[in-house]
Structure 1
Amino acid sequence: MNHEFTDGLDELDPSEEKNFRKLLQRTKRKTILRNVLISVLCTLLILFGLMVANRMLLTRSLNFAYEDLHQFKKISEPNVSLGEFQSLDGIWGGTAMYQSYKVIEGIPLPWAEEKIQYNVLNHFSRYQGGHSPLSVTDPEMVEQGMNFARSYNVHNGQRELLFYHPDVRYTKMLNELNQLGAIDPEKRVEMAISFDRSYTSKEIRSMLPAGVHARWFWVDTYSADYVKFLGEIPYLPVSSSNVYGYSAYADSEDIFENNEQNFISFIQTGLKHKGNFNWEYHQIYDSLRGSNPEPTPDDVHHIGVVVTGSPEALLGLQTKSYVRAAVLGAIVSKY
């Protein structure tokens, strides 16, 4: 075939041969240009598809992270709610920052900022470090023989809440109800009340003095071994990062009350989510149900409560026999 084609060219006169070669070159250039354009278009389409897929996967991962954090906040961090959430997507991953806050008698108080990293594989993780509270030695506590530093929120300088388990024999316990008289009457105060024994949510609501409002119920989610461990350090209370419970109300208007069944539902929802806190949910669920197939409302034992009110109203707790310990938390100005 090549010989015949060459022989055909040889039969052409010089001008025809020149024109034919130019035609071949133009055809070749067009073919190359077409292939380049197709390659560029395919590359752009692939890049666009990857960008769309990257955005969709990161959005899914961010939503998963937010739901995981929001759900876990329902059973942890006493009287703390999840607030504003901001994010910045990158290539195959992104960074998000969320803020949390407390509400003390209708007054919002910014509480913390935390960053997370998420990726297209639907995984997220917290930044390492920067979460520990600020520890400051309290001279009055030292005088009373309490050999631990007081914890303060690193972002706003407010006191972190502390709790005392009713089954632990502490050598010393904080009872700061006697300090309420020194607080400006126009302030509004948060306190962690540790009980002498467990009570139902209905009992707690009814036994609090007028003007003292339940904000968060502390639930006994500890194994016998962990309670024994607490007893080995009989002067050290339980920090707010190691307690679990639930908000007294399901809404900011204090209309819909949460109860024992709601707490169980929060745990069950968390287990179904299978997120970063799956281990914690399993530990709490197993602790509540014991040897039963699943926990019931009767298995939810409240051993403390976070309350808010004016200093004068909270003074009404001084005569209550169920108050084993009382620790000041955040204090805000009414105006």
Structure 2
Amino acid sequence: MNKEENEFVFDDRQTKKIMRKARFWSTVKMIGITLIVTPIVLIALWYGLRTLSLNSAQKVMDDIHLFNEISGPNVQISNQVYDDHLLGGKITTTTYKVLGEQHRPYIWKPIKSDYNLFGTLTRTAISSPIQIEGSESLAETYQFERFNDYTGDREMFFYHPKISYDHYQDKISELRQLEKNTLVEIAISFDDAYSLDEIKSKLPSEVQVVWWWVGAYTDDTLDFFKRGQSTIAANGPYIYGFQSESSKPKPRRSLNDEVETFIRNIELLRKSKNFEWETNQVYQALVGENGNLEKSDVKITGAVVTGTPEQLQSLQGQTYIKGSIFGVISNQK
């Protein structure tokens, strides 16, 4: 082997050695960069998902609160807590009812909901009341006594004025059987649909209305109810209305009146993916021929009243009341 060949072999070996060394340090450098960058990326990803999850939780809680404002007869929200994870979480909404002119709170069933990372409700626990079957006649098929499966109290229901029932219950006539210090909740159903001002002028001044029932039903829904003389359960999915001003212990600061607030809440929820179907049903049922939902389109078909038996006895004999059903009866005045 001559000198030139020795130099060529040496250069080849030296080159391979240098390349191996370069690859080694390149690998070390990549590992180092990865070890530094990966935690930063993971932290940024975690923070982003965490922020999105928290924002989604707040949005869902706001939607639940807003929907309760147009549903939940005499059901107020006291608190909402969430248990979140990176892909969504759970929300527990604690509720209560208002009894009497002193606004005594009565603890009611909590609402438990699941939501995903993008702020969409995936599941809400639906109340399944305890039902006690009395008469087996067809006329009373939908008028069995129902009790809340959380508190054990009676669940209210309403009679729609456009449905002719074979039987109407009259619990107002039973008020005299209750003790004087009792606080009572009663669902009253009217014989027709009235404007808020009209029905306020009819009700006795000593009766406290805590919730107004709005007859927001499409023709198809009403036809379905008529076929079975179905009553409208207060804890069911087809009940809409709004809290009365007298149900609030503090004066409302909003410049809108009760009906305007109800309309505003419907419009807000129609823009949300949560409760979109429900609020669209309400909107379609109420909207006038001009295509806009206005105060004159909102009619009152019933109410929830509370007070002592003495205060509520003034409802006895009122011809515009077709039926009355007991809700909560509390001896803790």
Common fold, TM-score beyond 0.5?
Answer: yes
- Distance in 2 separating the partners of 1:7 and 1:299: 94
- Partner of residue 57 from structure 1, selected from 52, 58, 63: 52
Q: CA deviation at 1:150?
A: 1.6
1:212 corresponds in structure 2 to 207
Distance 1:175 1:5, change over 3 A: farther
Aligned ranges for residues 24-103 of structure 1 at < 5 Å? 34-103=29-98
Q: CA deviation at 1:72?
A: 0.8
Q: What letter is aligned with 1:243?
A: I
1:253 corresponds in structure 2 to 249
- Could you tell me whether the CA contact under 8 Å between 1:219 and 1:301 is conserved in 2? yes
| Amino-acid identity (%) | 29
Structure 2 unmatched ranges of 5 or more: 1-5
- Partner of residue 231 from structure 2, selected from 237, 253, 256: 237
Aligned ranges for residues 1-335 of structure 1 at < 5 Å? 6=10, 34-105=29-100, 106-127=103-124, 131-138=127-134, 146-148=140-142, 149-234=144-229, 236-240=230-234, 241=236, 242-249=238-245, 252-253=248-249, 255-256=251-252, 258-272=257-271, 274-335=272-333
Computed over aligned residues only, the root mean square deviation of the Cα atoms, in angstroms, reads 2.8
SS of residue in 1 equivalent to 2:49: helix
Q: Deviations over 1:88-122 (max 9, x none)?
A: 22232222222222111211122122322222233
Distance 1:33 1:265, change over 3 A: same
Structure 1 unmatched ranges of 5 or more: 11-20
- Could you tell me whether the CA contact under 8 Å between 1:209 and 1:313 is conserved in 2? no
Q: CA deviation at 1:208?
A: 2.1
- Could you tell me whether the CA contact under 8 Å between 1:58 and 1:118 is conserved in 2? no
TM-score relative to the length of structure 2: 0.85
Q: Deviations over 1:27-55 (max 9, x none)?
A: 98876555433211211111101110111
Distance 1:135 1:124, change over 3 A: same
Q: What letter is aligned with 2:191?
A: D
SS of residue in 1 equivalent to 2:316: helix
- Distance in 2 separating the partners of 1:177 and 1:143: 23
Distance 1:261 1:299, change over 3 A: same
Q: CA deviation at 1:249?
A: 1.8
Q: CA deviation at 1:147?
A: 3.1
Q: What letter is aligned with 2:140?
A: M
SS of residue in 2 equivalent to 1:158: coil
Number of aligned residues: 316
Q: CA deviation at 1:254?
A: 5.5
